[in-house]
Amino acid sequence: MSPQRTGTERLGLSSSNVEKQLNSSKELQITVIGRKSGKEFSTPVWFVREGKTVFLLPVTGSNSAWYKNLEKSKNITISTGQLKLQLATRLVTDPKKVSLIADKFRKKYSASEVKKYYTNFDAGVELTLK
């Protein structure tokens, strides 16, 4: 396993190209390190971007495996298209803030789609792009 890195890896993309890649994507591939196995675990997730902040909402809230893994490592890799970023996470558990994140998801993906897939709204994740 390679040593953990912090910061971002843009693969030669400028800031505006990073934003274009994110704006043209409906979902991200996230990779986290397993809290027990230490192995990489990847899964597609929906996201919302506002400026330099990317919000993630675990489908089953704090019960989601990838969220539990983030509780231990706090590091995540997101990728889409030619974009690959390694970022530190900020876990969100304040009910008001999680509710705001959920509202952002409802606005982007529709309330009916969020209701169809998301079952627990007790946790969210904030990522800051550099």
| pLDDT of 56 | 97
| pLDDT of 115 | 97
Task: Output DSSP code: residue 73.
Answer: H
Domain-by-domain residue ranges, the chain?
15-128
| pLDDT of 22 | 87
pTM of the model: 0.86
The rounded distance, in Å, linking the Cα atoms of 26 and 14 is 20
From the candidate CATH numbers 3.40.50.1820, 2.30.110.10, 3.30.1330.20, 3.20.20.30, the one assigned to the domain spanning 15-128: 2.30.110.10
| pLDDT of 18 | 80
| pLDDT of 7 | 42
Alpha helices in the chain (DSSP H): 15-23, 65-73, 95-109, 111-117
pLDDT values of the chain reduced to their tens digit, one per residue, 130 residues:
333 333 444 445 567 778 888 888 899 999 999 999 999 999 999 999 998 899 999 999 999 999 999 999 889 999 988 889 999 899 999 999 999 999 999 999 999 999 999 999 999 999 998 7
